[in-house]
A and B are shown apart, each in its own frame.
Chain A
């Protein structure tokens, strides 16, 4: 199985300031079709996960443009340009390049 490792596990931030989360995979996520199936999900307290980003950097429908994704191969980053109160949540990276699909441990973004 591909192991997904996120850092940090906790990220205290000031509202209006940026936040960044890293995700590293134990092997390359480049699929044989040339795409990289790395996505980011947000889970607010008491809610189900919600898709934010797919294929490294594509924002899903309705996701604010303060969220952006980048990276390649085995190293990926989710950035929030200016954290808002509604962004307090746990963020997960997930790979769907090789079955079984696997998730990172989650990074908790909280307000300082």
Chain B
């Protein structure tokens, strides 16, 4: 059964760089028409899309975070990663990795253009 699992430090110092990795198990990250995505959720609040990477390395980021975000993919490890620089307390959140079936590379009724699978999430706290 396919699963996504986030990993990384739970505590990051202000002004430092937050780095998280998502490991995909049960399927190849190179198969299918998926954008490998990051979404975050501050405690008690809603969901915010951060950005995604396609297996070719093509990325798309939220404009509000674009200057600080890098998402990359490592086929050999079946992983993709998030780097967020110059973090502040406002970046404290549960970070989810997710698999998004993109219609850029598929067609038909089953092509959802939606987040079809999520990791369990990892809490990252920005504090000194």
CB-defined contacts of A100 to chain B, threshold 8 Å: 49, 62-64
Residues 95-124 of B contacting A (Cβ, < 8 Å): 96, 100, 103, 109, 112-121
**Distance from A52 Cβ to chain B, minimum over Cβ atoms (Å):** 10
Tell me, yes or no, whether A55 is within 8 Å of chain B by CB.
yes
| Smallest Cβ-Cβ distance to A36: which chain B residue | B113
Cβ-Cβ contact count across A and B, 8 Å cutoff: 65
Residues 48-64 of A contacting B (Cβ, < 8 Å): 48-51, 54-55, 58, 60
**Distance from B64 Cβ to chain A, minimum over Cβ atoms (Å):** 8
Tell me, yes or no, whether A65 is within 8 Å of chain B by CB.
no
Distance between Cα atoms of A49 and B48 in the complex (Å): 12
Tell me, yes or no, whether A67 is within 8 Å of chain B by CB.
no
Residues 44-87 of B contacting A (Cβ, < 8 Å): 46-49, 60, 62-64
| Smallest Cβ-Cβ distance to A103: which chain B residue | B47
**Interface pair A41/B115, CB less than 8 Å apart:** yes
**Distance from B106 Cβ to chain A, minimum over Cβ atoms (Å):** 12
| Smallest Cβ-Cβ distance to A53: which chain B residue | B114
Distance between Cα atoms of A70 and B77 in the complex (Å): 40
Distance between Cα atoms of A43 and B118 in the complex (Å): 11
> When A99-B60, A100-B62, A100-B63 are in contact, do A51 and B47 touch as well, CB less than 8 Å?
no
6 further interface pairs, Cβ-Cβ under 8 Å (given A41-B47, A55-B109):
A39-B115, A49-B118, A51-B115, A54-B113, A58-B109, A94-B115
Instruction: Sample 15 A-B pairs with CB under 8 A, ordered by A number.
Output: A33-B103, A39-B112, A39-B113, A49-B115, A49-B118, A51-B112, A51-B116, A55-B109, A58-B112, A60-B114, A96-B113, A100-B49, A101-B49, A102-B49, A103-B47
